[in-house]
Copies of this chain bind each other. A is one copy, B any other.
């Protein structure tokens, strides 16, 4: 029987992986201890650490429907509306504990989407994808693994279908079928938390047509499978982490990372293949994953909590917390943040059971929620910068603060209230900078915009899911165009 890993065990489990990672043009031999990557590992570790705390147990763990064992909720298949609601609350909780992306949602959302689609393919074709999938799921649950769900292909020329691209690899595809499995080529972009994962699960990125059937493929592999390489992407202010552990990093413990993942002739054994050329199921898989993942942007509410807390703190340090405009802006930040919370709660509360037993969120409301996530954090961040004051972008470095020559001047001149150490003021400003301009802004702003689909993707879904005809019937009746309701 499996057990929940703790943070230390998780870290040790990563050390055993033989990942092929590159950054700044060099191979990273030891990602776990790399100063740029490590904060992102810490954030994933928080999903382990907090699952063991009694106060969070209800939210962070669940009972496996396969084994009846207690498992980390990130490996759980939602069995009820209550599960969906707890997922939203887990996102807010961890966002508020780490103030960054903790990277483990995407795997959870992939597992849940696959639980539905493998069942549906089998129902149509009598295949055994679902059986394979459940065996794999049990392995993940029992070993409490981190899976990264890999969806976004490079896409090349946006006006051409996958099979029509000049370079056939612009979408990941099957290039060879063997008796024991398949061989794939391609790449996945924007892969959050890739090098902190034990497993990588691949899905197609959009609806495939018959001509693109080689691109309709889904599978799972250990993250250090031969042929898989990771190139870590840059983030704003990433190299501050190389300056030593100074308060200029803002968030002293946590961060995120993104990677470009290359699949260079990678072999996948059949027992890890969950879709292979059943192109007519790609829409369902993509849309369900998207709906789950749009719900997952509950985490930004938690990051918003931290940003609000930091903003209230700097207001107090600056002695302006009772100015009416400051109080009003703090209310507004909360108004916007709780509006986001309403979205991720509502799409969960309105969830329903799919034929396979998995619970799915209300897809319209999940898209509406995510659309708000592409907007409101930007306004929250703007209000935070308003209250923080200009010092956030003009104050000297931590090295200057600690310098025997100029440190005294900084300490003297950046002091406000007598009981507030200047260093505290600088620390909280750096945290606000981190979330609104620095490494965490990548997650709080730009990834709020594009993660789980760019704004227009949600608008397309919304336009498809609203029932305009029903609304029109009501309007036509009320103004007398139609006599019948």
Copies of this protein in the complex? 4
How would residues 127 to 149 of chain A score, 1 for a CB under 8 Å from any chain B CB and 0 otherwise?
Answer: 00000000000000000000000
A397 in complex: contacting residue of B23, B158, B368, B430, CB < 8 Å = B23
Give chain B residues whose Cβ lies under 8 Å from the Cβ of A266: none
Give chain B residues whose Cβ lies under 8 Å from the Cβ of A442: 393, 437
Contact B235 A466 (CB under 8 A): no
Contact B341 A365 (CB under 8 A): yes
CB neighbors of B among A235-263 (8 A): 235-237, 239-240, 243, 247-248, 250-254, 258-260, 262
Contact A364 B346 (CB under 8 A): no
Q: How far is the CA of A472 from the CA of B409 in the complex (A)?
A: 28
- Given A24-B399, A237-B236, A481-B427, does the pair A328, B324 have CB atoms closer than 8 Å? yes
Interface of A is mostly: helix
Closest Cβ of chain B: how far from A475's Cβ, in Å? 4
- Given A240-B239, A342-B368, A475-B309, does the pair A25, B397 have CB atoms closer than 8 Å? yes
**What number of A residues sit within 8 Å (CB to CB) of B?**
151
Closest Cβ of chain B: how far from A391's Cβ, in Å? 7
Give chain B residues whose Cβ lies under 8 Å from the Cβ of A394: 189-190, 233, 258-260
Kindly state whether residue A205 has any CB partner on chain B within 8 Å: no
Q: How far is the CA of A376 from the CA of B166 in the complex (A)?
A: 41
Q: How far is the CA of A251 from the CA of B27 in the complex (A)?
A: 28
Q: How far is the CA of A428 from the CA of B187 in the complex (A)?
A: 22
Contact B167 A415 (CB under 8 A): yes
Which residue on B lies nearest to A368, using beta carbons? Answer: B338
Kindly state whether residue A462 has any CB partner on chain B within 8 Å: yes
- Given A389-B450, A437-B446, does the pair A396, B231 have CB atoms closer than 8 Å? yes
A189 in complex: contacting residue of B371, B391, B405, CB < 8 Å = B391
Contact B431 A232 (CB under 8 A): no
Kindly state whether residue A64 has any CB partner on chain B within 8 Å: no
Kindly state whether residue A281 has any CB partner on chain B within 8 Å: no
Contact A390 B312 (CB under 8 A): no
- Given A25-B402, A345-B350, does the pair A424, B481 have CB atoms closer than 8 Å? yes
How would residues 89 to 102 of chain A score, 1 for a CB under 8 Å from any chain B CB and 0 otherwise?
Answer: 00000001111000
Kindly state whether residue A156 has any CB partner on chain B within 8 Å: yes
Q: How far is the CA of A157 from the CA of B10 in the complex (A)?
A: 47
* 22 pairs of residues in contact across A and B, judged by CB atoms under 8 Å: A23-B397, A25-B405, A25-B406, A26-B399, A98-B478, A99-B474, A157-B417, A236-B437, A309-B472, A309-B474, A313-B481, A323-B456, A325-B459, A334-B462, A338-B365, A338-B462, A338-B466, A342-B369, A348-B349, A385-B446, A390-B449, A437-B441
Known: A25-B402, A99-B478, A305-B474. 12 other contacts (CB 8 A): A22-B405, A25-B397, A27-B405, A231-B409, A231-B410, A233-B396, A236-B393, A328-B328, A334-B463, A334-B466, A338-B365, A427-B480
